Chain A
């Protein structure tokens, strides 16, 4: 069993070493997936969010065109950006898993964790976008190519997460989901292209649509920048924890629950 643990440790070490965690004392982290580095990251993230809320809702001015509703953009744009980034990370990690010689499971877990966080951010983007659309366009939803593609991306990755839960060995899960993530890279541009062609047939909807152009002054750009930084830190924090939890779950599957308890007891008595 010791060799099994060692294999597992090197497996995930490949993926987590990038986070450059300092080797902390085991006592402090005997339960949970936190380390000193992630706690620091979490604290910085919280400060960033507080900053974003203060500037977004308070200090930044209203826009000339969009008036107060421009404030929604400070959470909407960062979450959309993170959602797309998450899916790019998933696709890249899947490709690395599939085409590297080692087939390290760490890449598969990174892909899975990133897709899960991406689904979260994508759902938020759609809900908040609908609220913003109601204020700016007068409707919650519009069959615009970007919106439609975003919705398809969300459903596609919900399917991807369902495939990850299909069962089978870890290697089977990793290969299956990696292939599926690459197929999504094929599928999404096709959907986007066909929806764009489809919409170009129709004239612009006759909803209230002031020119969406936002002239951002320095303070507004700065607020948006704070939002993007805070959301990116949040994404990194969530993915690190989710990825470590997945590693722990895989390890539990490998050794079986009983063996794990035995090992724990043996450790305590020695």
Chain B
């Protein structure tokens, strides 16, 4: 593939950034919700 570095690089940048953000959100969610009683979690 021509310009493979740029093309694959753009896919890697996109999904690495989103993946990192998703991990950050999930870790933060786990940390905060573990300190809360279930009544305070309206989504359950």
Decide if A and B touch, CB cutoff 8 A. yes
With A76-B10, A264-B37, A267-B37 as contacts: A241 and B29 at CB distance below 8 Å: yes
Near A by CB (< 8 A), chain B positions 1-44 give 1-4, 6-11, 13-15, 17-18, 21-22, 25-26, 28-30, 32-44
**Complex-state Cα separation, A148 to B17, whole angstroms:** 22
B residues neighboring A (CB under 8 Å): 1-4, 6-11, 13-15, 17-18, 21-22, 25-26, 28-30, 32-44
A193 at the interface (CB under 8 A from B): no
* Most chain A CB neighbours (cut-off 10 Å) among B6, B7, B37, B42: B42
Give the interface of A toward B (CB within 8 A).
2, 5-6, 8-13, 16, 19, 21, 23-24, 26, 29-33, 35, 49, 53, 56-57, 67-69, 71-72, 75-76, 79, 117, 120, 123-124, 127-128, 131-132, 134-135, 234, 237-238, 241-242, 244-245, 247-249, 251-252, 255, 257, 260-261, 263-264, 267
| A260 and B18 form a contact (CB under 8 A) | no
Q: Assuming A124-B14, A260-B37, is B42 touching A12 (CB within 8 A)?
A: yes
Measured CB to CB, the nearest residue on chain B to A75 is B14
List 26 A–B pairs whose Cβ atoms lie within 8 Å, in order of A's numbering. A2-B39, A9-B39, A9-B40, A11-B42, A23-B44, A26-B38, A26-B44, A33-B41, A56-B11, A68-B1, A68-B4, A72-B7, A128-B10, A131-B6, A132-B10, A135-B6, A234-B18, A237-B22, A238-B18, A238-B25, A244-B29, A247-B42, A248-B29, A248-B36, A251-B36, A252-B32
Shortest Cβ distance from residue B8 to the other chain A in the assembled complex, whole angstroms:
7
User: How many Å from the CB of B31 to the closest CB on chain A?
Assistant: 9
User: Smallest CB–CB gap between A57 and chain B, Å?
Assistant: 7
CB distance from B23 to the nearest CB of A (A): 11
Complex contact A21–B3 (CB within 8 A): no
A260: chain B residues at CB < 8 Å are 35-37, 40
Q: Which residues of A contact B8 (CB under 8 A)?
A: 57
Would you call A32 and B44 a contact (CB within 8 A)? no
User: Which single member of A21, A30, A53, A68 contacts B43 (CB below 8 Å)?
Assistant: A21
Cα A183 to Cα B7 in complex, Å, equals 37
Q: A238: which B residues are within 8 A, CB to CB?
A: 18, 21-22, 25
Is the beta-carbon distance between A32 and B40 smaller than 8 angstroms?
Answer: no
Residues of A contacting B11 in the complex (Cβ-Cβ under 8 angstroms): 53, 56-57, 75
Asked whether, in the complex, the Cβ of B1 is within 8 Å of the Cβ of A32, the reply is: no
* CB pair A32 B33 closer than 8 Å: yes
Task: Give the contacting residue for B40; candidates A57, A124, A251; CB below 8 A.
Answer: A251
On chain B, the residues within 8 Å of A31 by CB distance are 30, 33-34
A31's closest neighbor in chain B, by CB? B34
Cβ contact within 8 Å between B18 and A124: yes
Q: Which residues of A contact B32 (CB under 8 A)?
A: 245, 248-249, 252
In the complex, chain A residues whose CB is within 8 Å of the CB of B28: 245
